[in-house]
Amino acid sequence: MKERKIVMLMVVREDCPWCKKMARKTLTKKPVMAFIDKNFVPVIMYRDRDKKKFPIDYQTPRVPAIFYINPKGHEVWTSIGYRNVEDLLYDFDEANQGYIEEITGVEH
């Protein structure tokens, strides 16, 4: 059976101190890594390097930004700015809930 995971598109910039802090202090923590591995297909794109390679809908001036995109290509949640572990896990939950609601038609 093919997995139907949400794409977690993280848009960063090479010179962004908040992006680096989030990578170092949030994304490396076990609960965050486990949730990503189980529920998402993670993609990191550099706004300054990869600008022409991804859809215009996700070319944001604010970084870090995370767009959660369901398998049909619809955005189900967005996180803008630095997130600590607790905030990011909350966002993960909201993204998953948005996806479930879209599939089932039942709101949380």
Q: What is the mean pLDDT of the chain?
A: 89
- Spatial neighbors of 74 by CB under 8 A, at least 6 apart, are 102
Q: Average pLDDT of 69-93?
A: 94
C-alpha R_g of the chain: 14
Q: Average pLDDT of 39-43?
A: 95
Look up tokens 């949730």; give the residue. 35
pLDDT tens-digit readout, 43-71? 999 988 876 776 778 878 899 999 999 98
Burial group, residue 11, by CB count within 10 angstroms (0-12, 13-18, 19+): buried
The encoded tokens of residue 105 equal 């038609």
**pTM across the whole model:** 0.87
